[in-house]
């Protein structure tokens, strides 16, 4: 939706003048893209690590935080080691 709203903010300086600041705001959704939807490591030896880079891009106007769910690190072992 193309909704936009102008506003006049009154900013008071302690023991000083009051300033009028014109602001304009609009709603926006969080939007993002990933550079891939599948990861194909192909054939891998059981005792070798495989890495891949995934790019997450913020394609919107709103900043957002993100995190990766990596599971329980304490249960991870090096390949080939029990």
Each residue's pLDDT tens digit, 57-67: 999 999 999 88
CB 56 within 8 A of CB 32: yes
pLDDT > 70? residue 68: yes
pLDDT digits (tens, 9 = 90+) for 9-33: 999 999 999 999 999 988 889 999 9
Residues 6+ apart with CB under 8 A from 61: 28
CA distance 55 to 29: 20
Residue range 38-42: mean pLDDT, rounded = 90
pLDDT given for residue 3 in this prediction = 84
Question: Higher-confidence residue: 40 or 72?
Answer: 40
């Amino acid at each position: 939706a193309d909704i936009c709203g102008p506003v006049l903010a009154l900013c008071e300086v302690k023991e000083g003048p009051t300033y009028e600041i014109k602001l304009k705001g609009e709603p926006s959704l969080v939007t993002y893209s990933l550079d891939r939807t599948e990861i194909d490591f192909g054939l891998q030896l059981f005792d070798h690590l495989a890495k891949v880079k995934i790019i997450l891009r913020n394609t919107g106007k709103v900043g957002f935080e993100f995190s990766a769910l990596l599971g329980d690190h304490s249960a991870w072992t090096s390949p080939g080691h029990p």
